[in-house]
Structure 1
């Protein structure tokens, strides 16, 4: 990935993979999970609601 592509990825808005909430940029409090090689981002609320499953390393399809 070149520097310009990396910069674009850092400034894109994120969408919560669970509820669809859109974030402005990359909030430091959101959770990122890599499942089957794909990144999934989860907002604060979804992360809190599913904390035990996240800590248990369950894929989001099991939540």
Structure 2
């Protein structure tokens, strides 16, 4: 397989954090309303509010540094 699988298991106090605003969600799995983006080889998560604010730039595949 060419893709690496990420181990999503972690400590019980692990939290997922938004890459834009710093909002966090309990657990190692983001809520279903959050977006996942792969940039510079790493996964970044966006909360629902940030995703809604920047949806046009995200769909246009603009670099996150631009928006």
Category of TM-score, reference length = shorter chain: 0.7 to 0.9
Structure 1 position 59, deviation (Å): 2.3
Paired residue for 1:27, among 31, 35, 41?
Answer: 31
Count residues in correspondence. Answer: 59
- Bigger shift: 22-31 or 43-52? 22-31
Consecutive aligned runs of 4 or more in structure 1 exceeding 2 Å deviation: 5-9
- Give the gaps of 5 or more residues in structure 1: none
Consecutive unaligned residues of structure 2, counting only runs of 5 or more, are none
> Given the two structures, how large is their TM-score scaled by the length of structure 1?
0.78
**What residue is the counterpart of 1:55 in the other structure?**
59
- TM-score relative to the length of structure 2: 0.74
Shift of 1:62: 1.1
Q: Is 2:52 the partner of 1:45?
A: no
Alignment root-mean-square deviation, CA: 2.2
